[in-house]
Structure 1
């Protein structure tokens, strides 16, 4: 060997150490720069110790084209390097993680069977699992077993990753979990966590809890997966119980645990609990993090304390679009559309680019405000952003224009939507109902059914409201019958209210009474006042005593009920009975609530 060869080998060894250190420490850009700026500049080709770190860096940075160039350099380095098992495995892993499955599979197939390591098999199984190609992942797993390569925990984690989010593959996931128990790999915490995640997403709560209880050394991921399961079922109390156990084990909480806790507090909706959770977030040192800040803003808004939500927002130093959107949504939910639009202007002034969720919140604010001018400006901004073709945005535009009085423009947007979902139909039907155009709403509802779109309880509420506005009693009865009999939807208080109101306005008081008697007892209290008003309006004597007795039977301590009955009897000319009900207010020690009104000046 010449004098220059040992010097070149020493130099390459030096650069290899730096390249490997950069890759190991996560400095992937520096790793690639060292190779390009030092190794290649010095005229060195690299060896089997060089390329695995480079392939790892390309995989981490998702740079498949650069990875392909690195692969070419492997061939230039010589046959010994290109045949090296470690180098080939790193290249397979790089292609797989860069979503270049055909190239990964081809390189894996070209690798001699004796050189296929467990890591390379796992790379292929995981790659197919991540891309939800479960059948290919299983085929690779079976080929691996036929090659007498013993699967590891990483193999099963790769398989389970494809089963967790695929409904059709969850039965297979249960089989994989069974295999892990049989092979003893269920003791691997990563396998247990992956199995738990798969069971949780499949809604198999009992199996998930059973597995959770068997895991001895639970990690934060284990606790978070089980908490997510309870959040799916709305069981926020169990989330708090789990969290108390996490504290007892003295494990360090991460942001995922805290997000689960905040979500549970949202479901609870108690301000005192919200403040307690906020204190825990501050104690854990996550209060300045954007994602946690956004969740806390949502939490306080859900609890009705928009001022506290604003304080959290102001405390976040680097406000991303998620934080801004959370505050926007908070103002909308708390009935403050003016503040929501002012926040949107401030967001644009801060040069934060809105996303789809932001636009939907702004459209909701404009709809609540009912301002046609502001709505038109927001719509122009939506068009400038190129979001008008998005189905959810189109639905938001329809709803906003309807509530701003631009019903014809809303219909134009509706007609231009090629593929409509239930929400789109519902928004347009509600728009017609909102404007008292009952026949148009009913016609659109019939068209929706002919298109094969299955209505839900909300759509039927809109249709019944439309029938109410237009006085279409027969159509309202037909829709109510269709909802309960054909679609099996249980009527809610809104549906009953529409029907009672429809009968009362049409003067069909006996039908209203009959309908009233058929509804659940626990709902009747809210419908007697409209019935009494109807009797007063139509000066109807029949059944007036029944209505009065029913009202007082449900709530005899409400002075407003006595006043309402007295007023009805006065309208019917029964002055003596009217005075007797007025005297009952004083006799029972009830206090009549004073009426009040206000006038808004200057807008």
Structure 2
């Protein structure tokens, strides 16, 4: 190119570079790439060191590693001055890292001369390893950075802390890094404080997190959201509301993440008035059309027992994603409307929205509630089509659904096909046998589960005791009950005691039932008296009536229902005088007999 042609070409390149840089700076990344391909390259220009950083940034933002690699090749073909430029190399390293191409990023980083490695380049590598939870690699790069006498910045520590937040084993390292930030004065950096706070919250160190939160002076909305998420992990919705009140007093602006936390707190609280107040805040903030927040609101109203309000929010969103559809499905299941849930699933398929794993789990729950095995078969076809048949949660959902629909054999086939069984799927299958009256099968499966080294929990013991109860397996039930505390150090619940009492009474083991009753915790005895008294009545035995009645009245002397129960039982046994005595107790102690009532459904 002659000197006469070089000046206009340089002017043209500068013109296109300015447009490309402006497009990238304004977030118009697709336009940035179009300007390069459709204008600069079309004009026969190669680009220079001012061209490629904006292009790499655009590829990173749009997650286009293939195009990024082509941009990388173009940069190196543009001459040694461009290929060696530190800013160009750093932008390409950042592009590869953000596109998840860590080996490419590391290769380019290692090829960069030490003298050309900028702080940004070091930070890119540290952050890339941190984001992918490769904490050891991130620390190795950090140590190499310090040996190269490059002073770390707040961004360096944020990159390291991001990996520590998601790794239990690395949280001690995170505390050390926080100490380093204090020593170097970087703890004043809000990004560093927010990263440490997030790490402490994810590690369930709420006390330390709150202490740090209170010390941060210029809190951002991220700071408030991180602290709120910590309280949500602890299921402490009151603290979340209190935090929100303080935040509003500080005139802190809200974002969608903070409002999502507030919505979750309201869901835990379960109050409809609170739900409406949070909904009003979402509308006031202008976030009501966001799919994720709309899904949270749908879930909130469903948990508060208002499916109509949930449906109104659902209908108000024009472009619904799978998350929102699934929330509506779950909402109907929560509110006891499984038929509506299945109608919603049909509508979702008609709208050509691809269901996800959570969607299928919700539909399986609806099928189980309705007892529709044929529809369950159709859902299983979706499971196979989506390649989820090996997913443990989905398999558990299928087992539970078929058991509740009475297709116990099909449930067992799915159960047997799962190799990596966890406690949940064992529990679902055992409960399936219990609910279908196959107590012996439940006991056998329970023994197999224990032999496989799977430790039962309180719920599994409830299932197995229910199975023994349905089938009158007294010895098996007693053995299971005694193993709850003796072998597994689980404190028996009222459900366990009620199953055992019912089992003993139905089998006519009244002396064992009375012994069991006497050995129970005192505060639980009044809740198991119904089967005990009914058993005495059914067998015409009154020798223990006086003992039971004394226990009953000592436990809750303010409950007239207990006196009525004993009185009626004595009347049935012909003990009229004793029956009248218990009636007199009601008048003597000033108790009031609760009136009987019944319900009828009006309308079609």
- TM-score bracket for this pair, using the shorter chain length: over 0.9
Please, which moves more after superposition, 237-246 or 329-338?
329-338
Determine if contact 2:468/2:474 at 8 Å carries over to the other structure. Answer: yes
Contact 1:560 1:593 in 2 (8 A): no
Aligned mates of 1:38, 1:490 — CA distance in 2: 74
- Supply the distance in 2 between the matched residues of 1:301 and 1:72 (Cα, whole angstroms): 54
**Residue 230 (structure 1) shift:** 1.0
Alignment check: 8 A CA contact 1:55 1:90 kept: yes
Q: Secondary structure at the match of 2:524?
A: helix
User: Larger deviation: 187-196 or 354-363?
Assistant: 354-363
CA distance in 2 between partners of 1:273 and 1:178 (Å): 41
**What is the number of residues matched between the two proteins?**
602
Shift in Å, 1:601: 13
Q: Is residue 2:37 matched to residue 1:40?
A: no
Q: C-alpha distance in 2, partners of 1:158/1:573? A: 81
CA distance in 1, matches of 2:98, 2:130: 11
1:326-372 per-residue CA deviation (whole Å, 9 max, x = no partner) reads 12112212222222222222222333222111111111111111233
- Asked if residue 158 in structure 1 is aligned to residue 159 in structure 2, the reply is yes
- Where in structure 1 are there 5+ consecutive unaligned residues? none
Q: Is the 8 A contact 2:559 2:591 kept in 1?
A: no
CA shift digits 1:252-293 (9 cap, x unpaired)? 100111111111112222222222222222222222322111
Which stretch of the first structure deviates more once superposed, 335-344 or 423-432?
A: 335-344
Q: Give the CA deviation at 1:7.
A: 1.1
Match of 1:273 in 2: 274
Q: Which runs of 4+ in 1 moved over 6 A?
A: 597-602
Contact 2:485–2:491 under 8 Å retained in 1: yes
2:112 is matched with 111
Q: Secondary structure at the match of 1:541?
A: coil
Question: SS in structure 2 opposite 1:402?
Answer: helix
Match of 1:135 in 2: 136
Residue of structure 2 in register with 1:93 after alignment: 94
Q: Structure 1 residues 470, 570: closer, same or farther in 2, change over 3 A?
A: same
Give the Cα separation in 1 of the matches to 2:141 and 2:58.
Answer: 26
- How far the C-alpha of 1:580 sits from its partner, in A, is 4.4
Q: Are 2:208 and 1:207 aligned?
A: yes
Structure 1 counterpart of 2:69: 68
Partner in structure 1 of residue 312 of structure 2: 311
What is the aligned partner in structure 2 of residue 26 from structure 1? 27
Name the CA distance, whole Å, in 2 between partners of 1:266 and 1:517: 41
Per the alignment, residue 174 of structure 1 pairs with 175
**1:388–1:394 contact (8 Å) kept in structure 2:** yes
In terms of mean alpha carbon deviation, does 129-138 or 422-431 score higher? 129-138
Question: Matched residues in 2 for 1:520 and 1:288: separation?
Answer: 53
Change (3 A) 1:599 1:58: closer
CA contact (8 A) 2:129 2:135 kept: yes
**Structure 2-normalised TM-score?**
0.95
Which stretch has the larger CA shift, 564-573 or 121-130?
564-573
State which drifts further: 585-594 or 410-419: 585-594
Structure 2 residue 197 is the aligned partner of structure 1 residue 196:
yes
- Partner in structure 2 of residue 434 of structure 1: 435
**Distance (whole Å) between structure 2 residues aligned to residue 145 and residue 167 of structure 1:** 25
Question: How far apart, in 1, do the equivalents of 2:452 and 2:51 lie?
Answer: 61
User: Are 2:224 and 1:223 aligned?
Assistant: yes
Partner of 1:78: 79
Instruction: Give the corresponding residue for 2:475.
Output: 474
Q: Give the match's secondary structure for 1:527.
A: helix
Shift, 1:415, TM fit: 1.0
For residues 322-361 of structure 1, the aligned pairs below 5 Å read: 322-361=323-362
Q: State the 1:375 CA deviation.
A: 2.9
Is 1:438–1:470's contact at 8 Å kept on the other side of the alignment? yes
**Alpha-carbon contact 2:55-2:71 (below 8 Å) kept:** yes
Structure 2 Cα separation of the partners of residues 483 and 277 of structure 1: 43
SS of residue in 1 equivalent to 2:66: helix
TM-score normalized by the length of structure 1: 0.95
Question: Structure 1 residue 454: deviation in Å?
Answer: 1.6
Does the 8 Å contact 2:94/2:121 carry over to 1?
Answer: yes
Q: What is the deviation of 1:378?
A: 3.1
* Corresponding residue of 2:455: 454
1:300 shift after superposition = 1.6
SS at match of 2:336: coil
> Is contact 1:59–1:94 with CA below 8 Å preserved after alignment?
yes
2:382 and 2:99 mapped to 1: Cα distance? Answer: 36
CA offsets, 1:8-30, max 9 Å, x none? Answer: 11111111011111111111111
Q: Deviations over 1:532-562 (max 9, x none)?
A: 1121112221221222233333344545434
| Deviation for aligned residue 1:113 | 1.3
C-alpha RMSD of matched pairs (Å): 2.1
Distance 2:130 2:353 in 1: 36
Q: CA separation of 1:280/1:80 partners in 2, compared to 1, >3 Å: closer, same or farther?
A: same
Shift of 1:527: 1.3
